[in-house]
Structures are given as structure tokens and as C-alpha cells.
Structure 1
Amino acid sequence: MNRPSTTVVAPTLMIVGATSMYVGAAIAVVLFDTLSPSAVAWLRIAGAAVALVAWARPGAAAWHRSRLLLAGSFGLITAAMNIAFYEALARLPLGTTVALEFLGPVAVAAVGSRTRRDVAALLLAVVGVILIADVHWAGTPGGVLLALTAAACWAGYIVLGKRVARRGSGIEDLATGFVVAAVLTSPLALGLGPAFADDAPTTRLLVAGLAVGIASTAIPYALDQVVLARVGQARFALLLALLPVTACIVGAVALGQIPRPVEAIGIVAVAAAVAVRSSDDPDPEPAEFGGR
């Protein structure tokens, strides 16, 4: 049986994290005018690494090989997810990319479904995301492959993220993991060349990159660790459907973009999915945040 605090707090933290993520996405628009998608993705990874290390200040134990192996794997698969998603966006419509990437969480939620209620919640979430995303099946085969790669990495992010959360040192491992990811993907930094051109506002671009790392990665992924420590990975995967819902709400509040009737139906479907799944969570007993 779910604790009331978990039922309310988990979706709330997901919405807060999603809001931060979309603020970062708005900042990233500035960078796409000058830098390649993979260069922006690397700035996001490196910016998150700097912010998380400054915040968590991981001790010597966090850098030990036994801990660093899992943390580094988690950081790398998260980096790969971001890079593949940005590259897919350069080749596919946003709605198509979002829908294809969401197949990752759908797979995790499907594997963790145990009851008819679970299946009903999953179907509602899938329908809701498709309606909200405004899917247009257009683009290149390469873009589809990149979006599916991002989907696979998102599934890996959930599974490895749950393992990191269970160790009870999620924020520290998040910090060291992103350091590993930033170092191993550093060849992508070669794409930052345009930022150092004579007519480029170098400082503004690099500060914007750090801001993207904080808003789009450090804050939402840290909140993910808090949620993953409290719920099973299947329920967490379903909660990720709240991301496009949050995007709609942010667009309505900040930009006056009132959701169309189809999008409104999608929002209701996702909300119903979260409510149905939250009322019956058969995932393995979650580890407490700060526990083992």
C-alpha cells in the first residue's frame, strides 16, 4: 500500500523537475543558433557535472572504483540519452521525437506491470503522450534510429538510476557519474569551436551552457533520485509521462499557448494514468532515501 506522502510527493517532484528541464530547454534555444546539437549536449553534461560536484562535494569514497563503476555507467547512459535526443531533434519533428523516446519508459513500465490496473494506466499514459506530443510521422530514418537510441538509453537511465538510488548516495553518485561522462564524451567539445570565433559572445554562450546543465540536468535528475528512492522503477517510468503535461502547462502559463482540445484530452489521460497506477504499486519495496 502506498504511503500518502509518496502518492502526492512523487508526482509533485516530477513536475518541479520537468519545469526546470523546460526552462533549460528554453535557454538551449540560444545555443542551437551557434553550436551543433552534440556540442550543446556536451555543455549540458559538463555544466551539470560542475554544478553537482560543487553541490554534493563527493568524498574520497565516492571516487572508489566499486562505486564509480555504477555511477560512471549511469552518467554515460544519461549522456548518451541526451546526445541522441538532441541529434534526433535536428532530424525529426519534436512530437515524433518525444513519442519515440517515450518508448523507453513504456518498456520499463510494461515489464513492471503486474495487474490489469497497471496495464490500463500504461495505455492511458501512452495515449496521453501521443495526443500531447502532436506527432507528425516525418523525418529521416537516421532521426528515427537516434530517437529509438534515446529511448533505449532512457530505459537504461531508469534501471541504473534505481540501482544508484538504492545505495542511498544518489546525489554524490550523480555528481561523479557526470564527471565520468563529461570526460569520456569530451571529444564532443571540439564542436564548441564557433563559440570562440572572433564575433561570438563566448562568455554568454558558455554561461548559457552552464545554465542548461543546471536547469535541464542537475536539478531534474537530482529530483529523479529522490523519487526513485521512494518508488519502484515501473511507477517512476509511468510518472515520466508528466513531462509533456508539464510542457503544456508551462506553455499555457508563460506563453499563453492554450492547449488544444486534443492536448487537453491527453493531459487528462496522463493524469488518470498517474492516479490509477499510484493507487496500486506492486513494485518491489523501495529503498528509503538516505538508506542503505
Structure 2
Amino acid sequence: MSIRGTVSSPSPSPSSTPTPVTPGATGVGGSRRRRSLGPVGLVFAGGVSVQFGGALAVTLMPRAGALGVVTLRLLVAAVGLLVVCRPRLRGHSRTDWGTVVVFGITMGAMNGLFYEALDRIPLGTAVTLEVLGPLALSVIASRRAINVVWAGLALAGVFLLGGGGFAGLDPVGVAFALSAGAMWATYIVFSARTGRRFPQADGLALAMAVAAVLFLPLGVAESGTKLLDPVTIALGAGVALLSSVLPYTLELLALRRLPASTFAVLMSLEPAIAATAGFFVLGQALSVMEAAAIALVIAASMGAVRTQVGRGRADRPKRD
């Protein structure tokens, strides 16, 4: 789960288009592969940053509570994005503002639900359940028979993850994670709408501010003066940096040279990255069954993304 740079995914500019390569010892294909390694590495680094930021947030929860951590993350990220983006406040219609407000509400709900899940179930499990939201959105959007396979793989993964009934997991935590996944799917929809109405990352910065303002009373109610502790503030700033500011910047740079389809496939790896972060930072080891479950959900997510991309290509008019 993340607050990512999906609001305004820049199209490759003419200056970023790879220049023709004279065939030589390495060949054009080898040159293109090397060119793609840079943006892929940036996306992967962003994913690592997000999930290790989530692990850091878990360690902060005993000090500030789940809602307190969300409040600190959103506030710091909002201030940082507003300073960097300096979004224009004039010249927008009521529909524009309505869209960005709903986007901010969705963003806040997504984060709040996810952090409540992290307070109850392991990081890798929470991310795996949460990614079912975007996966369901991708399956529904593509409308192809092969989606039955991807949905079956995902359900099999969820069944394994729950050990046949989620007896070993906190049911409230599971419910929070699944609800966060539904909000993530909604986030994707309103991210695209906001990106069409606001230039660059202005919409993201404004939506982040909306989410921070809405969550501030909840964070204060749960944590009170704990939010004023210097160590808590510093750790909260670290969570915001790792989970929002740094990955957004890395992915924004990557999307200038990386197809959106490739980006979506890489996002499918987040449950595995989350499980790794949970193991190294929180000591949350996976059983063989849990690892197999995560692998199935990742495979289903990748398959759904590739199916959707393939359908988009098939629908394009062909030149004679």
C-alpha cells in the first residue's frame, strides 16, 4: 500500500525517447534492455522504500497508535508535496474540487484502514490481502474469459493465506486489509480523474492536504500529546519520507521512460517486498503455505495486468 505518483503519470517526452542505435556488437535489443534497467530499478527502489516504511510504521504504533501514525505520515507528506508542487488554487471548477476532495477522502481512508490492519496482522499478509482490490479492478476492467483463471489463482492464494479459514489471523485485521484494498481500487479510479483535471502532481498535493486535515482530529483523539514527542515526530517523518515522498519521486522519474503496463506488473511484486520487509525489520517469518499464497496472488495480479494490456493492444486500430 502506498500513496504513489499515479495521479499524473507523465507521457514520455520527445527528449526522453530513445535515439536510434547503430547496430553493432551489442545490438539494438541489448541497448534497449540496458535503458529499461534504470527506470525498473527506480520503481523497485520505490517499492522497497514503501514497504520498509510500512515496517517502520509498525514499530511506531506502540508510541502513537495506528491513527496517530497515519496522521503524522499524511501531515508530513502533505507539507512536503505542497512546498514542492506549489499547486494553483485558482482556475478550477467545482467539479475539479469535488474530485480532489473525494480523492483525498479515499486516500485517507485507504491509509487508515491499512494501518489498522498492520496493527493486527503481519505486513506481508496485509499487503497481499490489500492488493486484491486493484486486482479485482483490473479483472473487471479487462472483461476476458482468462480472468477466471486469474481470479481463481487469487482466491486460491487467499485460501492458503488463511489456512483454510483465517483461523490463525485476526479477523478484524483481515477485514481492515480487505477494506483498504477496496479503497485502493477507488484510489486508482479517482487518481486518474484527478490527474486529468490538475497539472503535474498538483492534484496529489491537494488531495494529500485534504486527507491530512480530515485525519488530524482522529490522530489527536487517539494519541493526544504523544504526537508532540520529538522522537515520535522524527519517526513519523521517516515513515512519510519512506512511504510517500521518496517512492513518489522515484516512480515519477521512472514513468517518464517506463510503459504504464510494465509499471503495473512491477507493482504486483509488492506483497513479496512487504513480506521481506516484515521478516527483516519485524521478524515476521513466513510459513511455506503463506509464501505459496503470496506467490499465487502475485501471479494472479501479473496475469490480470498483462491481460488488460493485451486487450488494449488488440483494440487499437491496425495500420495497413
Classify the TM-score, shorter chain. 0.7 to 0.9
Following superposition, the deviation at residue 22 of structure 1 comes to: 1.8
1:96–1:137: 8 Å Cα contact kept in structure 2?
Answer: no
Q: 2:81 aligns with which of 34, 37, 52?
A: 52
2:110–2:180: 8 Å Cα contact kept in structure 1?
Answer: yes
Name structure 2 gaps, 5 residues minimum: 1-16, 18-31, 314-320
Partner of 1:289: none
Bigger mean CA offset, 152-161 vs 112-121:
112-121
Bigger mean CA offset, 24-33 vs 79-88:
24-33
Following superposition, the deviation at residue 211 of structure 1 comes to: 1.8
Report the Cα distance in structure 2 between the residues aligned to 1:66 and 1:51, rounded to whole angstroms.
26
Write the mapping of 1:1-292 to structure 2, written as runs, cut at 5 A: 14-61=43-90, 65-94=94-123, 96-117=125-146, 119-121=148-150, 123-124=152-153, 136-167=166-197, 169-190=199-220, 191-195=222-226, 202-221=229-248, 231=260, 239-248=266-275, 263=291, 266-267=294-295, 270=298, 274=302, 277-278=305-306, 281-282=309-310
The count of aligned residue pairs is: 276
Following superposition, the deviation at residue 123 of structure 1 comes to: 4.8
Greater radius of gyration (CA): 2
Deviation track 1:218-246 (CA, whole Å, cap 9, x = no partner) reads 333566677599537xx876654311122
Q: Identity of paired residues, percent? A: 33
* Structure 2 residue identity aligned to 1:242: L
* Structure 1 residue identity aligned to 2:79: V
2:153–2:300: 8 Å Cα contact kept in structure 1?
Answer: yes
Bigger mean CA offset, 220-229 vs 239-248:
220-229
Report the Cα distance in structure 1 between the residues aligned to 2:142 and 2:63, rounded to whole angstroms.
44
Report the Cα distance in structure 1 between the residues aligned to 2:119 and 2:195, rounded to whole angstroms.
33
Bigger mean CA offset, 221-230 vs 181-190:
221-230
Describe the SS at the equivalent of 2:63. Answer: coil
TM, length-normalised to structure 1? 0.72
Name structure 1 gaps, 5 residues minimum: 286-292
Describe the SS at the equivalent of 2:142. Answer: coil
Pick closer, same or farther for the CA change 1:245–1:196 going to 2, 3 Å.
Answer: closer
Describe the SS at the equivalent of 1:185. Answer: helix
What's the C-alpha RMSD, in Å, of the aligned pairs? 4.2
1:92–1:138: 8 Å Cα contact kept in structure 2?
Answer: no
Pick closer, same or farther for the CA change 1:126–1:214 going to 2, 3 Å.
Answer: farther
Following superposition, the deviation at residue 164 of structure 1 comes to: 2.6
Report the Cα distance in structure 1 between the residues aligned to 2:72 and 2:117, rounded to whole angstroms.
17
